[in-house]
Amino acid sequence: MKEIKAYIRESMTDAVVDALEAMPGVPGVAVMPVSGFGHAGEGGMTARVTLTRIEIEVPDALADAVVSCLRDHARTGAGHAGDGRIYVTDLRRAVRIADGAEGEAAFGAME
């Protein structure tokens, strides 16, 4: 199981969420507005930014496809430094609160 977090340009949110929604097997996503600052360019100047954070938990077999989808739909034009980042981490445990289902079963619909 993988947890995927993406920080993308606010203006790309709808395109990315629509693309993820169209992917078979993606159980759902969490979308949150975030703000912060980043170092821009070689001069190290900081810039305040408003981004969207997208979080997705998926089975290992789907992780590469989700990362490709995020990368392809969050990229602007030829690509720019401010397009964002994607982080993929191993998810040690997942538990669905409603029925106690664990692991990959926690991602699917309740039976």
Contact 30, 39 (CB under 8 A): no
| Predicted structure pTM score | 0.86
State the total domains in the chain. Answer: 1
Q: Residue 69: which domain range?
A: 2-106
At 103 the pLDDT is 87
Ranges of beta strands (E only) in the chain are 2-9, 30-40, 45-58, 84-90
Is 80 a member of any domain?
A: yes
Residue 98 lies in a domain: yes
| SS3 at position 5 | strand
Between CA 67 and CA 79 the distance in angstroms is 16
Can you give the CATH number for the domain in which 55 is found?
3.30.70.120
Q: Give a yes or no: residue 111 inside a domain.
A: no
Query: Which residues, 6+ apart, have CB-to-CB distance to 75 below 8 Å?
Result: 83
Query: Running along the chain, 111 residues long, what does each successive block of 10 average in pLDDT?
Result: 95 96 92 86 77 94 96 91 92 92 82 69
